[in-house]
Structure 1
Amino acid sequence: MLTATLIKEDYSLEDFMVNPPPHMEWVDGELVEKNGMTLKHGGIQYKLARYWDDYKESSGQGGKIYTDVPCRTKKQGRYPDVAYLTHELVTEFGNLATLPQSFPLSAEIVSPTDIAEDVFLKAQEYLESGGEEVWLVFPESKWVMVITENQGLMFTSGKVVITQKVLIGFSVAVDDLLA
């Protein structure tokens, strides 16, 4: 069955908050389609969400793991590839259409069509809007960058990525995540 989402021409950030269209972000006053997703991208997204969820459960930290779910930064409407929301924030915001802030922990799986500067600006947006930690996953170069307000760390093949501020104690080998 084919369905279409009708979007009015003057679609605002407030409209996005109430009715976020799937696979589209609200950027600089316009709806922009999230594209460039590959099978590799989807597989890494699923694997990272599963790893975070398994760890969240085993460590007793609670909360929820999401994929492709909308949030608002200070000036944009975004859909992080993978995101973690603490138990407290699930209780406060879990029934809204769009999270009114960034997720405490977000990950973006960088697609071959992504522009590097845009990816880094998105990470900065997340951090300026309530996010505490952002993972940028580069499948082709086999890099994972973990960015917080005060530091940026690079993990490469043969290394183990470790959370810095959220889901404390989580770690995964870069090679396992990107295999």
Structure 2
Amino acid sequence: MVIAAAKPHSLEAFLELPETKPASEFLNNKIRQKPMPQGKHSRLQSKFSAYINQAVEDLKIAYAFTELRCTFGGASIVPDIAVFRWERIPRDPDGQIANKFLTHPDWTIEILSPRQSPNKVLANILHCIENGTELGWMLDPEEKNIFVISSDRRIHMFTGEQSVTVLSGIDLTLTVNQIFDWLSF
């Protein structure tokens, strides 16, 4: 959904607007509100971020944030999961985590919702890749596949028992089936 706003749009003007639920994003001088997460999306998002954090947080390798606003490269987006290497997590002068993340994630993960445009999701991932993100994922719960976009903009589709490429330095081995099996209780 595109939200009507006074033209011309600017990132600065967008950032002054009140937050919306679900979150709105600013990309290519357009404001779009993300779709409301539904069951499959919510389950994959919470399970996957917890799975990543279990492997990386105690070792201070990285951290997976859900629904974190990231503002960089003239855009402000809210990936479903944004993974930051530990040393790149923005911090306040006192060492606490910053509220504003004015940088790209190292790994961006998006989960398609029903009737959500894959092209818009891919545009968000490509914006991240073009601005320094190393790896992007687009999970499609309906088709049960995962598209992986690497920093060289190559796109690979993973299905079934294939192990999916993860961010370098993170010791995780996951197949597409393992990820989508999280949808079953």
Q: Tell me which residue corresponds to 1:95.
A: 98
> In structure 2, what residue type is equivalent to 1:111?
S
1:130 is displaced (CA, Å) by: 2.1
Whichever residue aligns with residue 43 of structure 2, its letter is: G
- Contact 2:53 / 2:62 at 8 angstroms: preserved in 1? no
2:103 counterpart SS class: coil
Q: Which amino acid aligns with 1:128?
A: E
Q: Which residue of 2 aligns with 1:152?
A: 155
Q: Deviations over 1:87-146 (max 9, x none)?
A: 21125473132x212100110001122222222222110111221111111111110122
Match of 1:68 in 2: 67
Aligned alpha-carbon RMSD (Å): 2.5
2:38 aligned residue = 38
Give the match's secondary structure for 2:164: strand
Contact kept, 8 Å, 1:20 with 1:70, in 2: the verdict is: no
TM-score (norm 1): 0.81
Q: Match for residue 164 of structure 2?
A: 161
CA contact (8 A) 1:105 1:166 kept: no
Cα distance in structure 2, aligned partners of 1:89 and 1:19 = 27
Match 2:141 to one of 139, 142, 145: 139
Tell me the secondary structure at the aligned position of residue 171 of structure 1: coil
- C-alpha distance in 2, partners of 1:90/1:17? 21
User: 1:55 is matched by which residue type in structure 2?
Assistant: A
Give, in whole Å, the separation in 1 of the partners of 2:68 and 2:103. 12
Displacement after TM superposition at 1:16 (Å): 4.5
* 1:129 alignment partner in structure 2: 131
Q: What runs of 5+ residues in structure 1 fail to find an aligned partner?
A: 1-7
Task: Say whether the 8 Å CA contact 2:148–2:155 is kept in structure 1.
Answer: yes
- Pick closer, same or farther for the CA change 1:132–1:9 going to 2, 3 Å: same
State whether residues 36 and 112 of structure 1, in contact with CA within 8 Å, keep that contact through their aligned partners in structure 2: no
The answer to whether the 8 A contact 2:106-2:132 is kept is yes
Distance 1:117 1:32 in 2: 13
| Match 1:14 to one of 12, 19, 22 | 12
TM-score, normalised on structure 2?
0.79
Which residue number corresponds to residue 119 of structure 1?
121
Cα offset for 1:148? 1.0
